[in-house]
Amino acid sequence: MRKIFYFIMLFCLLDTMGYAQERQPNNDKLLELYQTHQYREAAAYLKSFYPDTVSDPSILNRLGYCYRMAGDHRQAEQYYLQLYALDSLDVSTLLNLAAINTQRRLYPSAMDYYQRVIAIDSNHVSAYTALSGIMRRQGDMEAAYHYLELANQLQPLNSDIVFDFAQVCMDLKEEEAYRRADTALHVALQVDSLNGLLLLAKAQVAEKLKNYMEIVLRGEQLIELGDESKQVLVLLAKGYFHIDDFIGCQETYEQVLELYENMGEIDYYYLAMAYKALKRYKEGLECMDKVLELAISPNTAFYYGRKADLHDLANQPSASASSYLRSFQFAPISLHYYSLAVLYDRKLNDPRNALRYYRLYLKQETTPDEKVYIEYVQKRIKELE
């Protein structure tokens, strides 16, 4: 009888073990779902094996990962918060919560989690870089600089950190910050002298420091490495200009135009001055025309018109007339002629100029909506004549 009892117990135990083994998720299937980026489906598959009250850290971590990769940050956060409740000092959990809050733009919460990471591990570089990124988004460049400086001190040869540190230094617009960026880049380049990212930053910082020979050196290195981006070519052309290599400046800017078809206002100016130095005055004048074209907004005439309106409302008719006249130097807007004529007619008591601008208004291209104005102007011209 005892043997039969042991046999039954063994059978039940084996059956339970088999059922438990059968109820484990298939890792191959999970891997396939991960590889095909079906993270929400992976989460649903995992949840089919475990109750909502599951407290196993490894399972909570997998579920949090699935929902985070699926872009469901709120659901992912719930699982990571459960992990945080189990162990508030787990750096991985804190980093996940910080990243989720950053993605949701909940920056104060994200900063709090990153600060907790640093309190646990004062050498955690990624926490410093993440904090710097948050501070840059919030416009606090001093704090962004502080955190990246700490990261750079911990990993002075990490090219991504050095590049970002240099960018923050340049954003500060301070001579001392430019020099610190230059020093950090110099250290990193001694180990990785052909790193294009570092060479670009070195050239950018050199421009801030007005070290034009350095710009040319780094720019030419980048060209040799195959980087003919607009950013690099423009930097190099400016460097050539400032060391009086006007042929190099002209040729490089012409390469920019050949590859990219257009440039910025300041670049056309430098090219114009290079042509001037080379006594190629016709080309220089063409470039200056481009400078003036780019320097003037297509909305300038419109803006002067709105300024004239404000002068009129402020009972400053003479200033209003001046603004309308200024607008004509940029573009003819038909209603500005009408408004100026009415101003001379009704507020400045100047019928001669009123008549002149009423007539000019009728010569402009008008829209069907201006029919009522045209009829009034035609009538008023006859009265003034």
Residue at 219 is within a domain: yes
Tens digit of each residue's pLDDT (9 = 90 or more) over 282-316:
999 999 999 988 888 889 999 999 999 999 999 99
Q: Are residues 203 and 277 in the same domain?
A: no
Q: Are residues 177 and 222 in the same domain?
A: yes
Lowest mean pLDDT among 27-31, 347-351, 372-376: 27-31
Tens digit of each residue's pLDDT (9 = 90 or more) over 96-145:
999 999 999 999 999 999 999 999 999 999 999 999 999 999 999 999 99
- The boundaries of the domain holding residue 282 are 243-295
Q: Are residues 266 and 213 in the same domain?
A: no
The CATH number of the domain holding residue 374 is 1.25.40.10
| Domain boundary pick from 280, 295, 310 | 295
| Domain boundary pick from 176, 193, 227 | 227
Residue at 167 is within a domain: yes
Full-model pTM: 0.76
Q: Are residues 180 and 210 in the same domain?
A: yes
Q: Are residues 250 and 322 in the same domain?
A: no
Count of structural domains within the chain? 3
Residue 104 vs residues 77, 82, 108, 111, 130: alpha-carbon distances, Å = 11, 19, 11, 13, 14
Residue at 150 is within a domain: no
Residue at 131 is within a domain: no
Q: Which of 117, 114, 196 lies closest to 162, judged by CA?
A: 196
Residue at 353 is within a domain: yes
Q: Are residues 282 and 305 in the same domain?
A: no
Tens digit of each residue's pLDDT (9 = 90 or more) over 337-361:
999 999 999 999 999 999 999 999 9
Q: Are residues 256 and 304 in the same domain?
A: no
Q: Are residues 289 and 306 in the same domain?
A: no
pLDDT of the residue at 243: 98
